[in-house]
Chains A and B, each alone.
Chain A
Amino acid sequence: MDDPGHRNHDLGGRPAGRCARDEHEYEAWEKRVDALMMVLWTRANAITVDELRRYIEELGPAAYDEYSYYERWMHGITQALLQRGLISVEDLGKKMAEIEAREHG
């Protein structure tokens, strides 16, 4: 069991495998997550990158490894927005259901 004082995202010096020279193209939605964060942080001054990082760090080791980079970002952005009251859990739930219905409709 790892030392809980050594946080799972704090990777410097940990044993790990070979570096894969992954260069794949970003998906459209991933670019929009990136853009969303940049606009929220630098134009709207709505959330900070520090909040984003904190929520990502709090995901815990399993989710940190299983979720992709922009899935982690989306998690962090949403938590920050919820904490600041810029969106509500209720509105988000309804909108996500609406979007799912649109895709399947």
Chain B
Amino acid sequence: MAENSTRPAVPPLFAVGDRVRIRNAHPPGHVRTPYYCRGHIGVVERLCGAFPNPEELAYNRSGLPALPLYRVRFLSRELWPDYSGRPNDVVEVETFQHWLESAE
């Protein structure tokens, strides 16, 4: 549970500031990428580290190698067509690397 830098991990592909798209996939299973951000483009706000894949942990598997976990920042007005707040309001979502594609 505590971060273990000695466990196997996939190297990070993305850097802070990179534009990324969340894969527009809707599989069953234990998914921690919310529906509302799938298919949308955001910007990497930070790399949080590498963590075991919860999709695997949910099925009693190790979730290793650990996957890079990013916080991705989305403009709220791009997530919701009817958004009535301010233009620079954002939603930031922790997203595992395998859900991200480059949108540069």
Contact = CB atoms under 8 A, between A and B. Distances in A.
A78 B80 CA distance: 38
A: interface residue count bin? 10 to 19
Contacts of B63: 50
Main SS of the interface on chain B?
loop
B86 interface: no
Contacts of A3: 26
Contacts of B80: 13
Interface residues of B, number: 18
A3 B17 CA distance: 33
Nearest to B34: A12
Interface stretch (B6-14, B51-59, B95-103): B51-59
Interface of A: 3, 5-7, 10, 12-13, 41-42, 48, 50-51, 53-54, 57, 83-84
Interface of B: 1, 26-31, 34-36, 54, 57-60, 63, 79-80
